[in-house]
Amino acid sequence: MKTSLSLCILGLVTLTAFVGCSSVPHKAKVKAVAIPTGAKVDLDNVHQVKKNLYAQYEQWKNTRYQLGGLSRDGIDCSGFIYVTFKSRLGIILPRSTEFQAELGEKIDKSKLRAGDLVFFRTGWSVRHVGIYLEHGKFLHASTKYGVTISGLTEDYWKSAYWKAKRLDS
């Protein structure tokens, strides 16, 4: 009995040491990376960006929300941004909303253009992300409706709006 307790404690100490080694430094520089296949879309080409985003919406609309999901069986908001930028715009972003929010240049809501990331505070420590389309509309994975298009002027999104970021082209 004493030996198995000692082994459990040793195992926990070892596991704790490995977990500490695998943590990401909090202040690490976060960046987007272009896919080297030539598939990258110029984010300054608003027409092409919108075309690709609407095509993504048609393929993914109504896909249900699933925390941690990355497939048509279920996807969360940051996962949808990750998949969309990778498959439609040729850019690899971080997987989490926290790190996506660190990318790019902060821009005023009045200057939004297709492809900009829009962020929301939906709870005390909960963040949400979408991709701006046009005319106050953004594409995202909603917990209630799945992949959908919503409006920044809708009461819920208007009150939860946090910031917008533009990625480098």
Annotated catalytic sites, by residue?
77, 128, 140
CA 165 to CA 131: how far, in whole Å?
A: 10
Query: How many beta carbons lie within 10 A of that of residue 68, not counting itself?
Result: 10
CA 115 to CA 166: how far, in whole Å?
A: 8
For residue 134, what are the contacts with CB-CB under 8 A and spacing of at least 6? 50, 113, 114
Residue 12 has which token pair?
């926990």
CA 132 to CA 166: how far, in whole Å?
A: 10
Query: 3-class DSSP state for residue 9?
Result: helix
Of 138, 125, 132, nearest in space to 167 by CA: 132
